[in-house]
Amino acid sequence: MSDTPYNPKGPARPPASPRRGEGGQDARSAERRRDAAISKLKAELAAQAALIAGQEVALAHSRKIFDRASVAARIGVWECSLPGEQLHWTDVVYDLFDLPRGAALDRSEIIKCYPAESRKALDTLRSRAIAERSGFTLDAEITTFAGHSRWIRITATVECEADVPVRIFGMKQDITEEKILSDQMRYLAEFDAMTGLANRARFQARLAQADASRPLGALLLIDLDGFKAVNDTFGHVVGDECLKAAAERLADGCGEADLVARVGGDEFAVLLGSHLDRAAVSGVAREIIDGMGKPFAVRGQSLRLGASIGIAFAGAGSPCDLFAQADTALYAAKAAGRNTFRIFKAEAGAKGRSAAA
C-alpha cells in the first residue's frame, strides 16, 4: 500500500510559498517609515536648534544692553556667600573700587575702603539684614584703592535655603555726582551764596528748633552802620566785597556762637548758647562792635563801617517773640547813636523801648 495518508479532498499539498516580490515590499515599506520618522526627528531637532540659537542671540543682545546700561549708569552687581564671605563682582564694581577687573577679592581688605562712619553703618545694617532675612539700602562713602573719594549706593538682599542665610547680594552704584549735586542744593537752600554764612531760612529753622534739648541763650541782631553810604559811593561791586569781608570778620569773632547768619541785606543774626551769661553775651557784642569798627581794605579803598546790635535773651516766649525783642533792642541801639548795643527788657519793651546794657 501507498504510504501517502488518505485525504478525502485529495493528496496533501505542500505549504504555499510567498508570492514573488512581497517580502521585499514589506522591508522597503518599513525602511521608508523609519526614514520618515528620522527625518521628522531631524526636523524637530533643527527647529529646536534654531530656537535655541535665536534665544542665545537674544540673550547675548540683552546681556550687551544690560552691560552697556550698567556701565552708563555706573551700576554693578555683587554677591557674597554666607558664612564663607566669598565675594563675586561684575566689572562695574571693580571699576568703582579702582581694582583690575577679575582681581582676587578679599572682603577684609575691601571693607577698609569705607571710613569709620560708613563702615559702622554698613556693619549694622548688614548684620540686621542677615539676622532678619531681609535687606537694606545704604549711601556710603569710600576711598578707592587708587585714593579717589566716591559715594556709592548699596542695595542688598539676603537669600536663604531652608531658612538659613546662604548669600547676600545686590547692586552698587556710583552716586558721587548725585551726592555733590545734592550737597550743592542743600547748601544753596541753607547758606547765603555771597557770604557763606547761614541764610535766613536756616536761621529761622534753628530758631524754631530751640527746646530743652537744644536751648538758646540769646539772640543778637546786627545791622552794619555806614554800609549804604559805601554801596552808594563806590558801587555794588565794592559793596559786595565789603559785605563779604564784614561777614568773615563777624564769623571769626563769634567762635562760640551756635549759629551766625545773614538775614537781610546788611543785617546779621548771631545765636548764642545758654551756657553764656549776661556779661559774656555783652562781651561778645562789644567784640563785634570793635571788630566792625576797624577799616576794611577793599579794592584799594580803606572803608569804615560800624555795627548796631540788639540783644534779646531767651525766655518763656516763642521764637517769634525772641526775634521781635532783639529787633526792638536794635532800633533802640540805632536811636542811641549807632555803633553800640542795647539789651531788651520786658518792662521796657512793653512801653515800646529798650534798656541800655
Contact by Cβ (8 Å): 278, 214: no
Phi-psi region of 151 (alpha: psi -120 to 50; beta: other; left: phi over 0): beta
Rounded-to-integer distance, Cα 249 and Cα 64, Å: 58
Helix (H, G, I), strand (E, B) or coil at 221: strand
Buried b (16+ CB within 10 A) or exposed e, 114-132: beeebbebbeebbeebbee
Our answer to whether residue 266 is catalytic in this structure is yes
Contact by Cβ (8 Å): 331, 312: no
Helix (H, G, I), strand (E, B) or coil at 31: helix
Element containing residue 125 per DSSP (H, E): helix 116-132
Rounded-to-integer distance, Cα 127 and Cα 119, Å: 12
Contact by Cβ (8 Å): 251, 197: yes
Q: Give every strand in the sheet of 306-313, ordered side by side.
A: 259-262, 267-273, 216-225, 306-313, 341-343, 355-356
Contact by Cβ (8 Å): 306, 293: yes
Q: How far is CA 41 from the centre of its chain?
A: 58
* Catalytic residue of the set 174, 192, 225, 266: 266
Task: List the grid coordinates of 217.
Answer: 541763650
Among 266, 311, 312, 327, smallest CA distance to 292 is for 266
The residues carrying an active-site annotation are 266
